[in-house]
Amino acid sequence: MARMNADRRRDAIVNAALAVARRKGLAATTVRDVAEAMGSSSGLVHHYFATMDDVLAAAFERVAADDLRRTAYAVAAAADPEAALVAFFRAYAPADADWAFQLWLDAWAEAARRPALRATSERLNLAWQTLVEGIIRDGVQAGRFSCPDPAAAAWRIISVLDGLALQVVAHETVIARADMVAWAGLVAERELDLGEGTLGL
Amino acid sequence: MARMNADRRRDAIVNAALAVARRKGLAATTVRDVAEAMGSSSGLVHHYFATMDDVLAAAFERVAADDLRRTAYAVAAAADPEAALVAFFRAYAPADADWAFQLWLDAWAEAARRPALRATSERLNLAWQTLVEGIIRDGVQAGRFSCPDPAAAAWRIISVLDGLALQVVAHETVIARADMVAWAGLVAERELDLGEGTLGL
DNA sequence: TCCGCTGTTGGACACTTGTGCAAGAGGGTC
DNA sequence: GACCCTCTTGCACAAGTGTCCAACAGCGGA
């Protein structure tokens, strides 16, 4: 294997772990899988990460933080608070991202057994909530939304989305993909005292 | 080990699996764990269940179906639709049932890798939704609730609950346990066109 | 050209996993 | 007492797990 400096190699490991996790899920990803995907030896993985928990946490962080950044960017580019909210919903549930949400499912379940993964998913969940809370506060300040408790409203909006997405990804057939976003949008409209259908989701 | 007939032994295995899953989670429960908890050999487990997937599915089913029965009973005993809804919320989130919800987390995540577990969690999720939908329909018929789409409303109510519970169990600190029920109750009040605080959750 | 640093190897280690199976034991029936 | 059916054992099997480490290789600087 070609030599790399520490930073590049760490990156390569995380990328390889992600490629495997995408196929098998976070919980089923092993050191040897990662090494093989990278085309190197398994010892190399442990040269950079003390435990497998750390590898998985880093891989999960890469996806979730990227998604968050992408979404925050789309939100920031929106013309008004309503558009920002719509941008959030659209970015949250891209049609082909079942595997990414499966990563969340694995992270939440494995949190009980893997401390590093748990810390990462907690941090990122908080960051997503903060993003939504920010959208709401902006809308309230601009006089477009009415919401007595933006923090709580943000948690509720995120939670319906998570709860619905969970059904879509884990059970596929029970809820239609389109309903997921539409229904979460409806909850958001009620939270912010918008007319039903205002967001057009 | 004392001899048992097929039914009793199957029961004993499921109970043992549950005792282990309660401590370690569904995903981390092994054949040998189950055998040890039962005080027997590991071969015995496979005499009754073809695969480990089947054991876990049966164990999960025992808890989730019991909870459902208990909740359905409390709901049926309620004096009016509002009380039925409150009974549902109370039964859904007992203070000491973090381990039970961790089972759900494991089931959802493992659904991608274990067909039997997936089928079971799908079936039970649908049953829970049906229960809530029934409460709503009864309330609408009695003229106490107003709800244009009981099926969708039921999914939304269950999903907020799941999404919030998930944060409580996986991350513990980010959401207060009391807020979980109160917030889900608020969403339900809006779904059914009840005055805010009507349910008193 | 040689040296030393550091990235990299490949396998050892000690377990653990689900599964399959020949052999044995218990209890009821004749 | 003998028989048989069924429950039960205990281990073999092959594969896989995370972790660790002595040895090696390649590159930059002297």
Site from B104, B155, B158 to mutate, A interface, most A CB atoms within 10 angstroms: B155
Q: For A20-62, how does the pLDDT look when each residue is reduced to its tens digit (9 = 90+)? A: 999 999 999 999 999 999 999 999 999 999 999 999 999 999 9
pLDDT at B200: 84
pLDDT at B6: 87
More confident residue, A82 or B96: A82
Q: Where residue B73 falls among pLDDT bands split at 50, 70, 90?
A: very high
pLDDT at B95: 66
Q: Where residue B94 falls among pLDDT bands split at 50, 70, 90?
A: low
Query: With contact defined as beta carbons under 8 Å apart, do B131 and B92 qualify?
Result: no
- Backbone dihedral region of A200: left (phi > 0), alpha (psi from -120 to 50 degrees) or beta? left
Q: For A140-168, how does the pLDDT look when each residue is reduced to its tens digit (9 = 90+)? A: 999 999 999 999 999 999 999 999 999 99
Q: How is residue B26 annotated by DSSP?
A: G
pLDDT at A113: 97
Residue with tokens 């282990």, as numbered in its chain: B20
Q: Where residue A1 falls among pLDDT bands split at 50, 70, 90?
A: low
Instruction: Indicate the residue of A109, A155, A175 with minimum beta-carbon distance to B105.
Output: A109
Structural tokens at position A37: 């995907």
Burial B149-183 (b: 16+ CB within 10 A, else e): ebebbbbbbbbbbbbbbbbbbbbeeebeeebbbbb
The least confident of A145-154, A171-180, B21-30 is A171-180
pLDDT at A201: 82
Residues of A within an 8 Å Cβ radius of B? 24-25, 27-28, 102, 105-106, 108-113, 118, 121-122, 125-126, 129, 152, 155-156, 158-164, 166-167, 170-171, 173-175, 179, 183, 186-187, 190
- The maximal CA–CA distance of chain A, rounded, in angstroms, is 59
Q: Is the pLDDT of residue B2 over 80?
A: no
Structural tokens at position A7: 């930073």
Residues B77-98, mean pLDDT to the nearest whole number: 88
CA–C1' gap, B38 and D28, in angstroms: 63
Which nucleotide is closest to the Cα of A6 by its C1'?
C7
Q: Is the pLDDT of residue A2 over 80?
A: no
Q: Where residue B93 falls among pLDDT bands split at 50, 70, 90?
A: confident
| CA atoms of A46 and A133, how far apart (whole Å) | 39
Query: With contact defined as beta carbons under 8 Å apart, do B98 and B112 qualify?
Result: no
Q: Where residue B46 falls among pLDDT bands split at 50, 70, 90?
A: very high
Q: Following DSSP, what letter does each residue of A13-36 receive, concatenated?
A: HHHHHHHHHHHH-GGG--HHHHHH
What average pLDDT does the structure give for chain A?
95
Footprint of strand D on the protein (CB under 7 A): A 3, 28-33, 42-43, 45-47, 50-53; B 1-6, 9, 40-44, 47
Phi, psi of A20 (to 5 degrees): -70, -45
Cβ neighbour number for residue A168 with a 10 Å cutoff: 18
CB < 7 A to strand C: residues 18-47, chain B: 28-33, 42-43, 45-47
CA dihedral angle for residue B139, residue B143, residue B148, residue B151, rounded to 10 degrees: 10
Instruction: Indicate the residue of A158, A173, A183 with minimum beta-carbon distance to B155.
Output: A183
What average pLDDT does the structure give for chain B?
95
Q: Is the pLDDT of residue A94 over 80?
A: no
Q: Where residue B100 falls among pLDDT bands split at 50, 70, 90?
A: very high
Strand C proximal to B118 Cβ, under 7 A: no
pLDDT at B161: 96
Site from B20, B159, B181 to mutate, A interface, most A CB atoms within 10 angstroms: B159
pLDDT at A85: 96
Residues B21-31, mean pLDDT to the nearest whole number: 97
H or E element, residue A117: helix A115-141
| CA atoms of A43 and A31, how far apart (whole Å) | 9
| CA atoms of A173 and A128, how far apart (whole Å) | 27
Q: Is the pLDDT of residue A96 over 80?
A: no
pLDDT at A142: 96
Q: Following DSSP, what letter does each residue of B74-130 receive, concatenated?
A: HHHT-SSHHHHHHHHHHHH--TT-HHHHHHHHHHHHHTTT-HHHHHHHHHHHHHHHH
Q: For B151-201, how does the pLDDT look when each residue is reduced to its tens digit (9 = 90+)? A: 999 999 999 999 999 999 999 878 998 899 999 999 999 999 998 888 888
Q: What percent of chain A has pLDDT over 70?
A: 99
Q: Is the pLDDT of residue B92 over 90?
A: no
Q: What percent of chain B has pLDDT over 70?
A: 99
Residues A104-111, mean pLDDT to the nearest whole number: 98
